[in-house]
Structure 1
């Protein structure tokens, strides 16, 4: 049986460093036996069909192949269509009434609990807010991510210790669902 997945690559093609051209990423995925490979934007999203492996093994295979090809480590999260659809459907914020730049999802490689973020005084950041979902954090930032103090705080390494975390704006969240539809 084949499954459609999306790979989320963390920290590539930003600020002029850690370059991974999308054409080379597509070729690398195809060399791993993955089919119907498509990329989105330059910031590290790819969709593909796999007849083997699971999310964790596919992420490990891709991460290893990226290190071998480009000479630097790249954290990778792989998620199937059903999960990506559930992230979209379960959004606790009124996504249809917000600008896409106001809503982001931080995807985690493993489940996280509210305890991880207990040190954050949520009231101090209002109207910015976050809520946890299944291996995801929904982040509402009315003035955009670049001006957000809350986004800066939730991305601190000590809060994300032991998990890979990578953020995508709401347009990309929607596009990942579209790209992984059968």
Structure 2
């Protein structure tokens, strides 16, 4: 059995694409997954599975909740590697963001430079776009256009969430 970190994109945001994590956890357990854990309502799930569960979880959510979110499944090793490569170590977790991409990004550097604030710093390492936004992301023009800048669909998590998921994965 392998541990997988499942990141759902765009669930439980603004009252749309509702997936109650308690119910999803029950559904996953009933469908053969073990060691199922969830963290907050934004679609962070840990499971043990023999095979990568990405498509199976997407199908399960579609069957039980009526829509199919984008699902990104990372092995525990892939997730740990993304965490270890964080170029903004030591900075406050709520200001450091990881944007996990399913496909390799094709950065539009001109667009990124035109939308980045003077305080924002970023780095792409493989399929993770790391962003330090010390003024927050609420009004960030870069964040509101992140997928256009990356040329790929992405799901973001701040460093606090990433660290919590990493800690939970240790205990599976």
Normalised TM-score (structure 2)? 0.90
Q: Deviations over 1:3-55 (max 9, x none)?
A: 1111101111111121111111101221331101000001110111112x12x
Q: Are residue 135 (structure 1) and residue 124 (structure 2) matched?
A: no
The list of structure 1 runs, each at least 4 consecutive aligned residues, that deviate by more than 3 angstroms after superposition, is: none
Which residue of structure 2 lines up, in the alignment, with residue 172 of structure 1? Answer: 161
Which residue of structure 2 lines up, in the alignment, with residue 119 of structure 1? Answer: 110
**CA drift at 1:92:** 1.2
5+ residue gaps in structure 2? none
Q: Are residue 77 (structure 1) and residue 76 (structure 2) matched?
A: no
Selected match of 2:139 from 126, 136, 147: 147
Report the count of equivalent residues.
Answer: 170
**CA drift at 1:122:** 2.2
Selected match of 1:104 from 97, 105, 110: 97
Does the residue aligned with 1:147 lie in a helix, a strand or coil? coil
CA RMSD of aligned residues (A): 1.7
CA distance in 1: counterparts of 2:17 and 2:23, whole angstroms: 13
CA distance in 1: counterparts of 2:27 and 2:126, whole angstroms: 29
CA distance in 1: counterparts of 2:13 and 2:104, whole angstroms: 26
5+ residue gaps in structure 1? none
Contact preservation (8 Å) 1:111, 1:135: yes
